[in-house]
Structure 1
Amino acid sequence: MLTILIGRAKTGKSDTMLRRMAELGESSQQILLVPEHASHQAEVDVCRACGDTASRHAEVLSFRRLGERVLSITGGIADVTLDNGGKLLTLQRALLETAPQMTVYRKPSQKVGFLEQMLALFDELRSYEVTPEILYQQAQDIDGATHDKLTDLSLFYAAYEARLRRPGLDARDRMTKLCDHLEESGYVRGKDIFIDGFTYFNAQERRALAIFLRQARSVTVTLLGEVNSREEIFEPTLKTMSMLERLAASEGKPVKLLSLTNNDSSALGHLERHFFGENLPYEGDSTAIRLREAATVYSEVE
C-alpha cells in the first residue's frame, strides 16, 4: 500500500511519519529514506522518536547507502566505483577515441570545464535512463547542426559507457547498480518504507520505488504542497503526486492520500500561507518578522 502525506510547511508530515515508526516498533523492520544531506538529522530524529531501541527495527538510508546495502548482499560492493576525478579521466580517454568519427567535436576542448559539462550531461541522461541508442535514434529525426551535435554526443556517450563496463570491471555509479540488483536482493521485502524530503524522483529512483511497492509491506511518502492548490510553487509536488499514484496503479497497489493542515495564526504562519499566493494583509502583531536587504550574495549568505 502507498500512503501519501501532503501538506504545507509545519503541518507535521515528518512528525506523523516518525510517530508511525515508533508505533510499529519492533513489530516490523522500517527504512527511512531521505536525501543524502538530510541523513544525519534524520538519524537524530529517529532516535528521539523511537528511543534507545531504534536501531533494532529502524534505519536511515539515502539511495546511495541503500545501494551499498544491496550490493553487500548480491555482490559487487568491492567493485570499483569511480569518483569524479576518475570519471573525468575515463571521459577524456573516450573523447580521444571517438573524436576522429565525430563532426562537431572532431577537435574537442581538452579543458576540465568542458569535460565537467559533458560528465554532468551524461550523468543526467543516465539518471533518466536515456541510453546512447535512444539519443542516437532521436538525433536521426532532427536536421541541421542539432542532428550533428546529438549524433556526436551519442557516440561519445556510448564510448564512455563502454569504458565503464569493460570486461572484469563494473565502474558504473551506485544508483545504476541499485536499480539492477534491488529486486533480487530482497532487502526491502516485507519492510515498512518511509520516504521523506524529496520533491521529485528521476527515472532511476522511480524504478526503485516500483520495486518498493512490489516487495515492501507498506510505502509512505511525504510531499510539500496542497492537493488543490493553484499556487505555481506547488506544481512540481502535484506532478510528483500524480506520478506516484500512476506508479501504484501500475503495480496494483491501493493509494491512501492524507492531507495535513496547519492552523498557525502567527505572523510567520500567515506569511507562509500567503507569500506566494493571495496577497492578504496581516492584522495582528508582525514585529516577529524582519525584512533584511543584503548588498551582495555573499553578505546574504552570511
Structure 2
Amino acid sequence: MSLRFIYGRSGSGKTYYCLQEIKERLQHSPEHALVLLVPEQYTFQAERELMAITAQGGLWEAEVLSFRRLAFKVFNQAGGLAYPHLQAAGKCMLIYKVLQGLKEQLPFFSKSAERQGFVTTISTLLTEFKRYNISPQELIVAGDALTDELLKVKLAELAAIYKEYQDLLSESYRDLDDDLTLAAVKMENTDLFLNAEIWIDGFSGFTPQEYSLIAQLGRRAKRINISLCTDSLLESEEREATDVFASVKECWRRLNRLAAEEGLEIEKPVCLNQAEPLPRFKESVELSHLEKYFFEYPHKVYSLPTKDIALFSAVNIFAEIEAAARDIIRLCRDQGLRYRDITLITGDLANYGRLIEVIFKEFNIPYFLDSKIEITQNPLIRLILAMLDIFIDNWSYEAVFRYLKTGLAGVEKQ
C-alpha cells in the first residue's frame, strides 16, 4: 500500500502519463482493478481519452469514476441506494420550513428569512459545512470562543438552523451532500478496490470528505497515484504569498500527513517539468514562455517578435466580437483551419453570448454556445407537458394554448 505523486506544470503531460500507465497495465492483463478518479465534470472526456489511448476494451478492465460515482458503487454493494435523496428544490423547501419554525429564536436572521435568495444562500452554506465536516456543535464551540458578540449570535443561529435541518432531514430523506461522508464509512464493509491501482487526476485540492475517501482507498488499494499541477514539491511550509501553486503545495503536505497517519509508503515522486518547452506548448515558444512567467515576479521579458499571441483593443463589446469573427473567417479561409478547431473564451458569457449569436450569424460562422438551457424551453418538452396539462386541467384554455404555441401541433398560425 503506497502513495505516489505525479507533478508538473500545466501542459506537462500529467493526464497523458496516467493514461499511458493504465495502458501498460492493461497490456499485461492485470488481476486487480484499475481506476481513474477524476472531477465530476471531466468523467466523459476522461472516458473518451482512455478509449482512444487503449484502442479497444479500455473501459472493460479500467474504470473512470468521480467521487460521487465512487460513492454510488459503495452504496450499491453496502446498501443505501434505496434511501430517497433530497434534491436542491426539496432542500430549499425544507430550509424554508426550518426558518419559519425557528422564527422566534432567530433575532438576527428572522428579518432576512423572507428576502429573495436567502434560502438559497443558507442552502449553499450548509453544503459547505458538510463538505468540510463541520457539525452544528462545532459552530457553537467556535462562537463561544469569539469576542465579537454579533458574529457569535450569527454562528449560534446558523447552528440552530443546521441542527433543525439535520433533525428534519433524518426523518425521511438523505442529503446528497452527505453521500461522500457516508460512503467513507460504508466502504469498510465492502471488498471494493482491494489491491487496486488508482490514479487521481485533475484535482487542485480536496475537501475533508474527499480526504476521508482517499484515506479509505489507501487502506485497501495497492497503490494510489495522485497528479498535482505544481512546479515543485516543497518540503518546507514557508512559501511566498504570491506563489500561484501555494494551494496545491498545501494539498500535497496534507496528503503526506494523511499517508503518515494511515501508514502508507510514499514512493519517489514523478516530475514532468524537465521538458522545455512543455509538451502542450512544443509548437509555440511564445505560449510556453507566457505559461512559465505569467505569474512569476520578477518576470522574464520575451524579446523575440510574436506570431502566436496578439492583443486587440476594442471600443466596445460589439467591436471586440466583430474583430474575433473576422479573424475566425481569415483563419479558415487563409490557413485551412476548420470552425471546430477554434474556441472563443469569455469570462462573461451572459453579456457576450447574445452578441455572439447575432454577429456570428451575420458572418455565417457555425458555432456551439456552451450555456445551460432549461429543458422546459425545448419545444418538444413543452408540447408533452402541455398535452399532460390538457388532460389534468380538463382542457383548460391555458393548457390548450400552450400546446398550440409550441409550433409542433400541426395547426397553422392563421
Q: When the two structures are superposed, what TM-score results if normalisation uses the length of structure 2?
A: 0.69
Report the equivalent of 1:125.
129
Measure, in 2, the Cα distance between the counterparts of 1:212 and 1:67: 12
Output the amino acid matched with 1:270. H
SS at match of 1:87: helix
Instruction: Determine whether 1:254 maps to 2:254.
Output: no
Measure, in 1, the Cα distance between the counterparts of 2:229 and 2:352: 25
Shift of 1:31: 1.1
Report the equivalent of 1:289.
309
Instruction: Determine whether 1:194 maps to 2:189.
Output: no
- Runs (5+) with no aligned partner, structure 2: 318-347, 357-414
Measure, in 2, the Cα distance between the counterparts of 1:300 and 1:226: 34
Kept in 2: contact 1:79–1:171 (CA 8 A): no
What is the CA deviation profile of residues 106-147 of structure 1, one whole-angstrom value per residue up to 9, with x for unaligned ones?
A: 444234400111111111011110100111111122241111
Report the equivalent of 2:293.
274
Kept in 1: contact 2:47–2:59 (CA 8 A): no
SS at match of 1:88: helix
Structure 1 residues 146 and 275 mapped into 2: Cα distance closer, same or farther (>3 Å)? same
Worse overlay, 136-145 or 124-133: 136-145
What is the CA deviation profile of residues 147-176 of structure 1, one whole-angstrom value per residue up to 9, with x for unaligned ones?
A: 11111110110001112211x543453223
Output the amino acid matched with 2:292. R
Q: When the two structures are superposed, what TM-score results if normalisation uses the length of structure 1?
A: 0.93
Report the equivalent of 2:22.
21
Instruction: Determine whether 1:114 maps to 2:118.
Output: yes
Instruction: Determine whether 1:76 maps to 2:80.
Output: yes
Report the equivalent of 1:237.
248
Kept in 2: contact 1:99–1:108 (CA 8 A): no
Measure, in 1, the Cα distance between the counterparts of 2:47 and 2:155: 44
Q: What does 1:1-302 correspond to in 2, within 5 Å?
A: 1-25=2-26, 26-27=29-30, 28-143=32-147, 144-166=149-171, 169-173=173-177, 174-227=179-232, 232-256=243-267, 257-261=269-273, 262-264=275-277, 266-277=285-296, 278-293=298-313, 295=316, 297-298=348-349
Larger Rg over CA atoms: 2
SS at match of 1:9: coil
State percent identity of aligned pairs.
27
Aligned length: 301
Measure, in 2, the Cα distance between the counterparts of 1:116 and 1:235: 31
Kept in 2: contact 1:267–1:285 (CA 8 A): no
- Runs (5+) with no aligned partner, structure 1: none
Measure, in 2, the Cα distance between the counterparts of 1:16 and 1:76: 36
Kept in 1: contact 2:86–2:174 (CA 8 A): no
SS at match of 2:36: strand
Kept in 2: contact 1:164–1:172 (CA 8 A): no
Shift of 1:300: 6.3
